[in-house]
Amino acid sequence: MINVAVVVENFSPLSETFVYNQVIGLSKKCNVHVFCKRRTNSNLFPFADVTKIELVNPNPLKEYLIKRFVYFFTSNSVLKSQLKEQFSKKKIDLVLIHFGPSFLKVHKNIDPNIPRIVVFHGYDASYLFKKSPFYVHAMRKALGHSNVFPFAVSDGIRNFMLEKFPNKSIEKHYLGIDTNKFSPSLKKENTGIKKFIQISRLVEKKGIEFTIKAFVEFKRLYPSKNFKFKIVGSGPLQEPLSNIITSNDMTEEIELVGAVDQLEVNRLLQESDIYIQHSITANNGDSEGLPISLMEAMSVGLPIVSTYHSGIPELVLPENGILTKEKDILGIVKAIDKIWFWETNQNRERIIKHFSIDSSVSSLYSKISKLIS
């Protein structure tokens, strides 16, 4: 049986359940061993074979340079020794690494004969490319290794990468969700209030400020249309977003819910009517890959209001929802009005067919098998 090492900085925060889902799915087909710096939410996401590794360089000067210049120096004698021992003990055939920075931290510390897949998700193929030429230089050198196989979670991210590494073969690989956990509500209460929801971290690229301002304008233009908008998640923009809501007298219509677990996410989606997420390119260049929350909402059967951003148009087709230009407040208002009476039964079917964890893992396992053989 194939032995796969999955390397990730943090296993498993609420914002990265896609890694956990992939690990569980892949473990049904091969032996999966997780290696991480931090282990979080083990009560919510149980998995037995988890080994903590030392991703911080023991040399203080090197660690400072790593943080200052974004992984320009990546050799770590402690980590190399630890991985050599563990990989030999567990007979690792292939290493699967999530996120570019984690890849650079472990790349030079792995036996060069072991093939490795590195999965790029969003900020690691957008913001970091813009922020640091050192990161780009280190990544170009690492990706030049014949045993390194880069995957991108969408064509949008793949295109970002090809701009920097035009001579490297980069494969698109969609992540997936457990459609059994995200299913439509059998009975939805009709209260006469249209319920909108967004589930994401409260960061700039999620475009929440523009969505709030669009609802302010929508209320002014359509005072007879009653709605609620729940923003589920936590992050650094909580206070400024709360201030925008309060200053526009929208506390009755818009609620900052905070972070919740997956069971509560499913319940909140089931009681909602429309999913809205105005993803944008942040001022620092940070971009989405392909938001898992959109997949979860579509699996529940919700129509979508989002943007022509990164991989989103690959997921949300015209029959699945309405996309607008980034930062287009009037466009969001028009989309909200147009989607108010939207009825679609195609969204869940699309997720089951193209973006389920089963189809994603089957495709991944097939690729792993070919790389090893």
State residue 58's pLDDT score.
Answer: 57
Whether residue 63 contacts residue 55, with contact meaning beta carbons closer than 8 Å, is answered with: no
DSSP strands (E only) in the chain: 3-11, 31-39, 50-52, 94-98, 116-120, 148-152, 171-172, 194-199, 227-232, 254-258, 274-276, 304-307, 321-324
State residue 59's pLDDT score.
Answer: 63
Return the amino acid letter for 235: G
Spatial separation of the C-alpha atoms in residues 305 and 302, rounded to whole Å = 10
State residue 68's pLDDT score.
Answer: 59
Q: Which two tokens stand for residue 88?
A: 């030999």
Tens-level pLDDT at each residue, the chain (373 residues):
999 999 999 999 999 999 999 999 999 999 999 999 999 999 999 999 999 998 766 566 665 665 555 445 567 888 999 999 999 999 999 999 999 999 998 998 999 999 999 999 999 999 999 888 888 988 999 999 999 999 999 999 999 999 999 999 999 999 999 999 999 987 777 889 999 999 999 999 999 999 999 999 999 999 999 999 999 999 999 999 999 999 999 999 999 999 999 899 999 999 999 999 999 999 999 999 999 999 999 999 999 999 999 999 999 999 999 999 999 999 999 999 999 999 777 999 999 999 999 999 999 999 999 999 8
Spatial separation of the C-alpha atoms in residues 337 and 320, rounded to whole Å = 16
Instruction: Fill in the DSSP letter of residue 124.
Output: G
Q: What is the pLDDT of residues 266-289, one digit of tens each?
A: 999 999 999 999 999 999 999 999
Whether residue 104 contacts residue 132, with contact meaning beta carbons closer than 8 Å, is answered with: no
Q: What is the pLDDT of residues 164-216, one digit of tens each?
A: 999 999 999 999 999 999 999 877 778 899 999 999 999 999 999 999 999 99
State residue 343's pLDDT score.
Answer: 79
Return the amino acid letter for 92: I
Nearest-10 Cα torsion for 94, 360, 325, 322: -170
Whether residue 311 contacts residue 154, with contact meaning beta carbons closer than 8 Å, is answered with: yes
State residue 60's pLDDT score.
Answer: 66
Instruction: Fill in the DSSP letter of residue 144.
Output: T
List of long-range contacts for 54-62, beta carbons under 8 Å, 24+ apart: 54/78, 54/79, 54/82, 55/9, 55/79, 55/102, 55/105, 55/106
Nearest to 101 by CA among 123, 81, 86: 123
Q: How many helices (H) and strands (E) does the chain have?
A: 15, 13
Sign (positive/negative) of CA torsion 210, 188, 312, 344? negative
Nearest-10 Cα torsion for 180, 186, 188, 194: 40
43 HSE (CA, 13 A, CB side): 1
Domains 3-176+356-372 and 194-353 equal at CATH topology level:
yes
Residue extents of the structural domains in the chain: 3-176+356-372, 194-353
Q: What is the DSSP string of 165-218?
A: -TTS--EE----B-TTTS---S-----S-EEEEEES-SSGGG-HHHHHHHHHHH
Spatial separation of the C-alpha atoms in residues 233 and 273, rounded to whole Å = 18
Q: Which two tokens stand for residue 96?
A: 């699967």
Q: Is 335 helix (H, G, I), strand (E, B) or coil?
A: helix
Region of 28 please: left (phi>0), alpha (psi -120 to 50) or beta. Answer: alpha
| Domain 3-176+356-372: which CATH number of 3.10.129.10, 3.40.50.2000, 3.30.70.100, 3.90.1150.10 | 3.40.50.2000
| Domain 194-353: which CATH number of 3.40.50.2000, 3.40.50.300, 3.40.47.10, 2.60.120.260 | 3.40.50.2000
Q: What is the DSSP string of 279-304?
A: ----TT----S--HHHHHHHHHT--E
Q: What is the pTM of this model?
A: 0.94
